[in-house]
Amino acid sequence: MARKIADWIGRLGEVWVEGQVAQLSRRGGAATVFLTLRDPAADLSVPVTCHRDVAERPGLELTEGARVIVRARPDYYVARGSFSLRATEIRAVGLGELLARIERIRRLLAAEGLFDAARKRPLPFAPAVVGVITGRDSAAERDVLVTARRRWPAVRFAMHNCAVQGPQAAANVMEGLRRLDADPAVEVIVIARGGGSVEDLLPFSDEGLVRAIAATRTPVVTAVGHETDTTLVDHVADVRAATPTDAAHRVVPEIGEQRRLVDGLRSRARQVLTGRLEQQERWLESMRTRPVLASPDRLLHGREEDVLSLRTRARRTLVHRVEGAERDLEHARARVAALSPAATLDRGYAVVQKADGSLVRDPSAVADGELLRVRVAGGRLPVRVDRSANGEDERRESTGG
């Protein structure tokens, strides 16, 4: 299988490859030069071999970090199973080509919306921890730290010192971004580097680094080069600072200025509160001088006769209604007494009832000798029906005796 792969690669012919020289090795007086060609955007590397005459061609300054275009033939070494390129020509990438390539990347990323203003995030006010990615002991590091601490002494820093120039710079900065972005204490990240040539600042136009900044959750401030230098990371950053010192100004507030602001707000609040109290005091004083509050009983004196008149009317109306109710009650009592059965009994009438309580309304409804109850005004008495006594009475009435 390895031999078949080697045969297939051997039939590819020559290709042109653009990349950045990551490593360069000239072994004494050997005729072969070894170098590693790296694609920063794809984070891939491939070993390249060439004859010394190719690497030391007049006009070619082959150094680590240089951008080159290599004309080479792919080669597969069966014994070790390794892939490499055998270069027959190496050309340095000129400044115009670098700028054109950066412009192509810028248009591509802009079309994807990575530079849109809507993606920009506001910076936190007075962050407690600021992440800083810069070169170790560099002027940019001193500018950021010294200026920020002078403006806001309470600020703390999470540092990531790395290479900011050369073939490994973009990868190192991306590693720092991932580490600081994963730290929940870091509230904002500053990427700082001093000025330099277009070639020196090339890592900060790396497509992979631009995408890494766009993917962070933490706001990012870039301060790369001088004010006139513009790299692709400046377009994708949430805030672009002209210099590392300007980045410190943008990230933390100035404590003296904030104190003056607080003092001014306190003074303004005191003036507003004093004015409001004085206004309320004047209003209260004007209310106290009004007759209704200066002498509240004056209104009471004027209403005293009205109250007495109303009380008299109320008493007269109440007495009249009570007397009318008493008369109505007497009339009702008289009507009830006239209709009462007791009044009828008082006039000599009686109520005759059978033993079961039913009234006797007809003499024929009772039997001879039946026991009845008679109710008169003075009480009740039992009687028995005697038909013979009724006959004697009828005979007396008929004889006139």
| Residue 20 tokens, joined | 């950045």
Q: Are residues 190 and 321 in the same domain?
A: no
Residue 393 lies in a domain: no
Domain finish residue from 42, 73, 93: 93
Report the pLDDT averaged over residues 275-304: 80
- E strands along 209-291, which residues? 220-224, 239-240
Residue 400 lies in a domain: no
Predicted confidence band of residue 397 (pLDDT cuts 50, 70, 90): low
pLDDT in tens, 73-88: 999 988 888 899 999 9
Range of the domain at 156: 101-253
Predicted confidence band of residue 390 (pLDDT cuts 50, 70, 90): low
Q: Are residues 105 and 207 in the same domain?
A: yes
Whole-number pLDDT of residue 96: 60
Whole-number pLDDT of residue 383: 87
Predicted confidence band of residue 289 (pLDDT cuts 50, 70, 90): confident
* Residue 176, pLDDT above cutoff 90: yes
Choice between 132 and 2, residue whose per-residue pLDDT is larger: 132
Q: Are residues 108 and 247 in the same domain?
A: yes
Predicted confidence band of residue 398 (pLDDT cuts 50, 70, 90): low
Report the pLDDT averaged over residues 224-245: 89
Whole-number pLDDT of residue 395: 57
* Residue 325, pLDDT above cutoff 60: yes
Report the pLDDT averaged over residues 308-319: 91
Residue matched to tokens 């892939």: 83
Closest CA to 177 of 218, 143, 138: 218
Predicted confidence band of residue 400 (pLDDT cuts 50, 70, 90): low
Q: Are residues 120 and 241 in the same domain?
A: yes
- What is the average pLDDT value for the chain, to the nearest integer? 86
Q: Are residues 159 and 228 in the same domain?
A: yes
Residue 314 lies in a domain: yes
* Residue 227, pLDDT above cutoff 90: no
Whole-number pLDDT of residue 302: 67
Q: Are residues 133 and 246 in the same domain?
A: yes
Strands 379-384, 371-376: pairing kind = antiparallel
- Contact between 127 and 155 (Cβ < 8 Å): yes
Whole-number pLDDT of residue 391: 56
* Residue 26, pLDDT above cutoff 70: yes
Residue 110 lies in a domain: yes
Whole-number pLDDT of residue 399: 54
* CATH code of the domain containing 211: 3.40.50.261
Written as one letter, the residue type at 261 is: L
- Contact between 9 and 72 (Cβ < 8 Å): no
Q: Are residues 169 and 125 in the same domain?
A: yes
* Residue 291, pLDDT above cutoff 80: no
Residue 281: partners with Cβ closer than 8 Å, 6 or more residues away: none
Q: Are residues 127 and 211 in the same domain?
A: yes
CA-CA distance, 191 to 325, in Å (whole number)?
Answer: 102
Residue 299 lies in a domain: no
CA-CA distance, 132 to 143, in Å (whole number)?
Answer: 11
CA-CA distance, 277 to 279, in Å (whole number)?
Answer: 5
Whole-number pLDDT of residue 186: 96
Choice between 294 and 119, residue whose per-residue pLDDT is larger: 119
Residue 269 lies in a domain: yes
Predicted confidence band of residue 9 (pLDDT cuts 50, 70, 90): confident
Whole-number pLDDT of residue 384: 86
* Residue 351, pLDDT above cutoff 90: no
Report the pLDDT averaged over residues 101-122: 91
The total number of structural domains in the chain stands at: 5
* Residue 268, pLDDT above cutoff 70: yes
pTM, rounded to two decimals? 0.52
* Residue 126, pLDDT above cutoff 60: yes
Residue 214: count of CB within 10 angstroms of its CB: 18
pLDDT in tens, 129-162: 999 999 999 999 999 999 999 999 999 999 999 9
Q: Are residues 366 and 312 in the same domain?
A: no
Whole-number pLDDT of residue 394: 55
Residue 366 lies in a domain: yes
- Contact between 194 and 245 (Cβ < 8 Å): no
Residue 59: partners with Cβ closer than 8 Å, 6 or more residues away: none
Whole-number pLDDT of residue 389: 65
Residue 398 lies in a domain: no
pLDDT in tens, 28-72: 777 889 999 988 666 788 999 998 888 888 777 788 878 888 889
Tell me if residue 97 falls in helix, strand or coil: helix
* Residue 197, pLDDT above cutoff 80: no
Q: Are residues 87 and 37 in the same domain?
A: yes
Q: Are residues 114 and 200 in the same domain?
A: yes
Whole-number pLDDT of residue 133: 96
Whole-number pLDDT of residue 258: 84
Whole-number pLDDT of residue 178: 95
* CATH code of the domain containing 86: 2.40.50.140
Q: Are residues 243 and 111 in the same domain?
A: yes
